[in-house]
């Protein structure tokens, strides 16, 4: 499932709130706030993509995500590695560590995470 940038912004709100009514979603945006019709269109498109669903309460709908943030992000990172780094995690790691200006402490933390994963694989 691919969400547009506008849909991803809305999805971030739903991941954070877990459940939200239209008014809550609109209030989460900075000024100038998008029109209700714009949000309604985004919600409908996201529902068509099976990214979200809702519970009806009279005329109000409470929206919630069907996709976990971690699952969505994982799919995109794996796609990024496949499409931009020749399906090579080491090329991705090399690029990430060289181009993101990480501090020595951050690099040491990454190394520790990698070492933990290596131990789990043994």
Tens of pLDDT, residues 26-82? 999 999 999 999 999 999 999 999 999 999 999 999 999 999 999 999 988 888 899
Q: Percentage of residues in the chain with pLDDT exceeding 90?
A: 72
Q: In whole angstroms, what is the distance from residue 90 CA to residue 38 CA?
A: 41
Q: In whole angstroms, what is the distance from residue 36 CA to residue 110 CA?
A: 43
> On the CB side of 20, how many CA atoms lie within 13 Å of its CA?
21
pLDDT at residue 67, as a whole number: 95
Residue 77 gets the label, from left (phi > 0), alpha (psi -120 to 50) or beta, of alpha
Distance (Å) of CA 49 to CA 11, 16, 17, 55, 66: 12, 20, 20, 17, 10
Residue at token pair 């560590």: 97
Residue 122 has pLDDT above 90, yes or no: no
Evaluate if pTM is beyond 0.95.
no
Is the CATH number of domain 5-65 3.20.20.70? no
Report residue 100's pLDDT band, with 50, 70 and 90 as the boundaries.
Answer: confident
The overall average pLDDT reported for the chain is 93
Please check whether residue 85 is in contact with residue 72, taking contact to mean a CB–CB distance below 8 angstroms. Answer: no
Q: Which pair of structure tokens corresponds to residue 76? A: 């995109």
pLDDT at residue 102, as a whole number: 87
Q: In whole angstroms, what is the distance from residue 46 CA to residue 1 CA?
A: 10
């Amino acid at each position: 499932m691919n969400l547009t940038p506008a849909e991803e912004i809305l999805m971030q709100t739903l991941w954070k709130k877990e459940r939200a009514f239209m008014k809550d979603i609109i209030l989460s945006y900075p000024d100038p706030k998008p029109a209700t019709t714009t949000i309604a269109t985004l919600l409908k498109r996201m529902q068509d993509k099976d990214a979200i669903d809702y519970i009806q309460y009279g005329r109000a709908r409470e929206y919630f995500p069907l996709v976990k943030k971690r699952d969505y992000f994982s799919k995109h990172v794996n796609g990024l590695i496949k499409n931009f780094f020749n399906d090579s995690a080491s090329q991705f790691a090399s690029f990430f560590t060289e181009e993101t200006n990480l501090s020595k402490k951050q690099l040491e933390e990454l190394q520790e995470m990698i070492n933990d994963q290596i131990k789990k694989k043994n």
